[in-house]
């Protein structure tokens, strides 16, 4: 069990090495959720995530002999970058073992800090096992991403800053992977604001903490956009703190995480990775739980591949009805395509893509099929355009 004193000491060690990130009130999120939402912007850290805090605190406590041996870590990305960066700043050799599914942007950035990157394993458990084997064979110091008191204390400095900036918060909503961040934050909250709710958030495919607290066998796995918290189980050290000081754990579906990423990008003008958006996802998925409260959460990471971000935004536009795909059966004669484009454009729609099939898809030689995708202001606007087209053509929404 770490203490407030441990977190305060960590804050002193990392001062000047880690950014004291801003905490802002988000009008767009407050409007969308019915709560007064404050965001701690850990995506602004040099490596794009809160993991800098724990890594900086742990490496600052290395002895001279440990610095000579070098450091090894395993991570799906953000802890990797954090250890690599702070090892570089301290002149310590670093090896980072990452699972094969790690997004390329995280692999590239980790190597960019001077670390030797080893890709191994289809799960974090396999990656961790290999990292421990390398640590033993090469004599390096293993720094765990969450099951380490010094790492936990470093992560807790985030909550220390949050409560300094907004002492009137009713609750903290913290993403949970292995438990290091929420353990550090809960330690601070319990000491400075006894009784204040600390609520963890997991994604449905990796709800290890919720299962353990419910007395269930842990069963996790599968694809998730929140790969940064795709952890098989909770660390032993964090679990002790969680049992003592965390009030609840919420499990959010994959769709809520995607919606949170899109809302942060469009409404708050912030880039968040999947794990970094899970706190906001909880506010969207359980609005009644937070209605009327002053809620502090964090955009704890912003390292998302541009392609994945683009896909998430497009999928959200489709769900919101702001992008519509239609299949029209049209007469095969000159001017029809121009007529349809004119109708959509004249109504304020923006055509994104058109596919015109004469030979293979149409039911008659006298007809053709036209697939058109267009952007509208909102679902109601898209519906108006659809009804207008239906006055002249046979239309299916796809």
366: in domain:
yes
Q: Is 324 helix (H, G, I), strand (E, B) or coil?
A: strand
Q: What is the pLDDT of residues 242-279, one digit of tens each?
A: 999 999 999 999 999 999 999 999 999 999 999 999 99
Assess whether 360 and 216 both reside in one domain: no
Q: What is the pLDDT of residues 26-64, one digit of tens each?
A: 999 999 999 999 999 999 999 999 999 999 999 999 999
230: in domain:
yes
Report the pLDDT value the prediction gives residue 274, as an integer from 0 to 100: 96
Mean pLDDT throughout 121-146? Answer: 91
Assess whether 185 and 252 both reside in one domain: yes
Mean pLDDT throughout 9-37? Answer: 96
CATH of the domain at 191: 3.40.50.1100
Assess whether 256 and 280 both reside in one domain: yes
Q: What share of the chain is helix, strand, coil (3-state, %, to 5)?
A: 50, 20, 30
**Listed residues 142, 176, 194: the one ending a domain:** 142
Report the pLDDT value the prediction gives residue 358, as an integer from 0 to 100: 65
Assess whether 304 and 235 both reside in one domain: yes
Report the pLDDT value the prediction gives residue 360, as an integer from 0 to 100: 57
Assess whether 165 and 305 both reside in one domain: yes
Assess whether 261 and 210 both reside in one domain: yes
210: in domain:
yes
Number of domains in the chain: 3
**Listed residues 315, 346, 369: the one ending a domain:** 315
Strand order in the sheet with 323-331: 350-357, 367-375, 323-331, 394-397
Structural domain boundaries enclosing 307: 4-50+152-315
Which region holds residue 269: left if phi is over 0, alpha if psi is between -120 and 50, else beta? Answer: left
Q: pTM (2 decimals)?
A: 0.88
Residue with tokens 């969680």: 242
Assess whether 308 and 160 both reside in one domain: yes
Assess whether 115 and 236 both reside in one domain: no
**Listed residues 315, 335, 355: the one ending a domain:** 315
């Amino acid at each position: 069990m770490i203490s407030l004193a441990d977190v305060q000491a960590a804050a002193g060690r990392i001062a000047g090495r880690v950014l004291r990130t801003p905490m802002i009130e988000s009008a767009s999120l407050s409007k969308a959720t019915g709560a007064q939402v404050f965001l701690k912007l850990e995506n602004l850290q040099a490596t794009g995530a809160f993991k800098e805090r724990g890594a900086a605190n742990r490496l600052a406590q290395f002895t001279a002999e440990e610095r000579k041996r070098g450091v090894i870590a395993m991570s799906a990305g953000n802890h990797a970058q954090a250890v690599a960066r702070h090892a570089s700043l301290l002149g310590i050799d670093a090896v980072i073992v990452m699972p094969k599914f790690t997004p390329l942007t995280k692999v590239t950035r980790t190597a960019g800090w001077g670390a030797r990157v080893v890709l191994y394993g289809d799960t974090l458990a396999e990656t961790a096992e290999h990292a421990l084997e390398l640590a033993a064979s090469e004599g390096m110091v293993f720094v765990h991403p969450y099951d380490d008191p010094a790492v936990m204390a470093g992560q807790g400095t985030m909550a220390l800053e949050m409560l300094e900036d907004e002492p009137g918060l009713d609750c903290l909503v913290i993403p949970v992977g292995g438990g290091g961040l929420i353990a550090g934050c809960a330690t601070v909250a319990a000491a400075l604001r006894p009784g204040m709710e600390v609520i963890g958030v997991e994604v449905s495919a990796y709800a290890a903490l919720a299962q353990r607290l419910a007395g269930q066998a842990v069963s996790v796995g599968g694809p998730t956009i929140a790969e940064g918290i795709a952890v098989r189980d909770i660390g032993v050290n964090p679990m002790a703190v969680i049992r003592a000081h965390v009030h609840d754990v919420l499990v959010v579906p994959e769709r809520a995480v995607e919606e949170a990423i899109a809302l942060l990008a469009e409404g708050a003008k912030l880039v968040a990775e999947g794990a970094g958006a899970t706190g906001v996802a909880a506010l969207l998925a359980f609005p009644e739980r937070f209605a009327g409260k002053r809620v502090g959460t964090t955009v704890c990471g912003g390292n998302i591949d541009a392609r994945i971000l683009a896909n998430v935004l497009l999928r959200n536009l489709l769900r919101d009805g702001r992008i519509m795909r239609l299949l029209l059966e049209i007469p095969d004669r000159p001017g029809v395509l121009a007529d349809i484009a004119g109708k959509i454009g004249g109504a304020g729609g923006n055509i994104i893509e058109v596919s015109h099939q004469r030979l293979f898809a149409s039911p008659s030689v006298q007809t053709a099929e036209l697939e058109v995708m267009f952007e509208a202001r909102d679902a109601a606007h898209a519906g108006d355009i659809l009804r207008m087209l239906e006055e002249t053509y046979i239309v299916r929404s796809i």
